[in-house]
Amino acid sequence: MTLQDQAPTRRSRFQDTSLGHMTRRDALKRTAALGLGAPAFAGLLFARSAHSTAAVPARQEGSPVRGGSVRVGVAGSAGGFDPALNTTMEEIYALEHIFSSLVRTTPDMALEPDLALAWESNETGDRWTFTLRDDVTFHDGAEFTAEDVLATIDYHLNPETASLFRTNIAMIDRVEATSSTEVVFRLSYPFGEFPEQLAHYQARIMPAAKIGQMATDPVGTGPYRLEAYVPGERTVLRRYDGYFDLEGQAFLDEIQYLAIPEEATKVAALTSGGIELANEFQPTSLPLLESSPAVTATEIVSGSHQPIVMDVTRAPFDDARVRAALKLCVDREGVVAVALQGHGVPAADQVVPPTDPMYGDVPIPAQNLDRARKLLDEAGYPDGIDLTLHATPGRPGIMETALTFKDMALGAGVRVELVSHPVDVYWAEVWKHEPFLVSNWIGRPTADMMLSTVYMCGASNTESNWCNEEFDARIMAARSALDAEERRQLLADAQHILSEDGPVIVPYFRSYITAFSNRLQGFRAHPLRYLDLRRAWLDG
């Protein structure tokens, strides 16, 4: 069974940015006037977004031109370059080009070869064989072989590494190099979506001889190598002239990631020609972007979401009644209208979007302030509760969600103090440290990956320390199910458990809005929010 033939069946919805926009006042008026239930509102939003089921095409006029430098405006800067410890988008952007993986996820959410030319499983799905390229070198000139794959997997699985990817590949019992160009993964149980795990952004292949040096001296096999790094200012990549596919990729000489945390500054830089691409924009910036004749803006309905996280090991969030009360404070349609200006769809406190084939069709909870007050009373807070919520303006949607939740929760006697942090400080010192915060997640290639990475017991990326054995059992059973419908039902059960008992308020799945100069050709917006410039070039 070869997954190259099956992979293109997983897709997401795409569209251009011909959507309308609303001010906060307009959104509030619309929220009050909607009078729609959650299914009707979701249908309205999908009607606006389902113009096409194919990926937004790359801008392409003529043949690729080699040369030039692309400047990319991003909110912050990378904190390091070790793929095992990669957490921020700024790191993902750079590592996407410095390293290669065995397989990659395309903008159509299909698998394509990278360092692996082909892959297949045995009939039971617990042994996977990957055939590797034999014409690849690392940036230091060392030859890439199967031993580098083994070393990379061992590095992630070693508990001392503290790899955030360890949970995703915990099913690997052992991996063997049967030749310099073939590796065999033997799994502890069948896993029909194992290749998709290896397309994750942390699954970058590192050189066996230097695997412990990646944080400050990243050496990959990707089309670009690290040229310069100034924390808080810029990260510069230069083309690696030994890359194995220079004819089809790596047309740009240089990629510069420039830290531009202010939204208005980023808009001005793009529309004036100071940068060629920006990672993400607020919906409120769309009018300015769309009015610029030199800029193309795109919007993708994605699995991106920004959960309000509660650490269940710390009071008052260790009480399930408090968590349930806070969920009941939220008007999902209202959050989409106000925080996202309508650029998203309501969600039901679980993390698999409606565009995913494994979506569980979980009902969208209705706001119920009376029930929320009663639950708080039962939990010992008859006069309401005071909470401190942490957020950052460094990711579009986070601060708006926090402010909207604060307004809505007051009606149930939940008094929220909102604390804002700079984006770099937020991920280094607040995320996973404070018990009540707004997080930021891009989608994942599979539903299993998103559910297991964050919410299984002892998950490497847990933000809440939540553990539910029934939830874990559904995930594990789904992994062994080779029938797609059986797997979907098991994952649907897991989504229902997360929605009802879980430690997060997930009010929406949001659209991904990015924009780029019309000079930039061959670039495609990615539903996983990657900024993939491998096949991009500059026109003029």
The per-residue DSSP string of 13-65 comes to -EEES------HHHHHHHHHHH---HHHHHHHHHHHHTTBSSPPPPP--SS--
Residue 289's identity, in one-letter code, is L
- Would you state the pLDDT for residue 8? 29
Two tokens at 487? 């797997």
3-state secondary structure of 501: helix
Residues 171, 189: contact at Cβ < 8 Å? yes
CA angle 24, 30, 33 (to 5 degrees): 145
**pTM of this structure:** 0.74
Question: CA 309, CA 317: separation in Å to the nearest integer?
Answer: 10
Q: CA Rg, the chain, in Å? A: 23
Which of 76, 121, 113 lies closest to 94 in space, CA to CA? 76
Residue 296's identity, in one-letter code, is T
Please, which residues have CB within 8 angstroms of residue 47's CB and are 6 or more apart in sequence?
Answer: none
- Would you state the pLDDT for residue 61? 59
Residues 201, 86: contact at Cβ < 8 Å? yes
Judge whether 362 lies within some domain.
Answer: yes
What is the residue range of 488's domain?
14-53+303-507
Give the residue carrying structure tokens 């691409």: 277
Q: Is the peptide bond before 190 cis (omega within 30 degrees of 0)?
A: no
How far is C-alpha 271 from the chain's CA centre? 26
Question: CA 324, CA 345: separation in Å to the nearest integer?
Answer: 21
Q: Report how many domains make up the chain.
A: 1
Judge whether 48 lies within some domain.
Answer: yes
- Would you state the pLDDT for residue 300? 85
List the CATH number of the domain containing 448.
Answer: 3.10.105.10
Residues 199, 445: contact at Cβ < 8 Å? yes
Judge whether 422 lies within some domain.
Answer: yes
Judge whether 167 lies within some domain.
Answer: no
Two tokens at 156? 């992630």
Judge whether 37 lies within some domain.
Answer: yes
- Would you state the pLDDT for residue 58? 55
Judge whether 202 lies within some domain.
Answer: no
pLDDT tens digits in sequence order for the chain, 540 residues long:
222 222 322 222 222 222 223 333 333 333 333 232 332 223 223 223 322 233 444 555 578 999 999 999 999 989 899 999 988 899 999 999 999 999 999 988 889 999 999 999 999 889 999 999 999 999 999 999 999 999 999 999 999 999 988 888 989 999 999 999 999 999 999 998 899 999 999 999 999 999 999 999 999 999 999 999 999 999 999 999 999 999 999 999 999 999 999 999 999 999 999 999 999 998 889 999 999 999 999 998 789 999 999 999 999 999 999 999 999 999 999 999 999 999 999 999 999 998 888 999 999 999 999 999 999 999 999 999 999 999 999 888 999 999 999 999 999 999 999 999 999 899 999 999 999 999 999 888 889 989 998 999 998 789 999 999 999 999 999 988 878 899 999 999 999 999 999 999 999 999 999 999 999 999 999 988 899 999 999 997
3-state secondary structure of 11: coil
Which of 233, 353, 235, 239 lies closest to 301 in space, CA to CA? 353
Local structure of residue 7 (DSSP, 8 states): G
Paired residues of 509 in beta bridges: 345
Local structure of residue 247 (DSSP, 8 states): T
- Would you state the pLDDT for residue 60? 57
Question: CA 421, CA 388: separation in Å to the nearest integer?
Answer: 13
Report strand pairing: 414-420 vs 385-391.
parallel
Judge whether 133 lies within some domain.
Answer: no
Judge whether 401 lies within some domain.
Answer: yes
First and final C-alpha spacing in the chain: 45
Question: CA 110, CA 8: separation in Å to the nearest integer?
Answer: 5
- Would you state the pLDDT for residue 137? 98
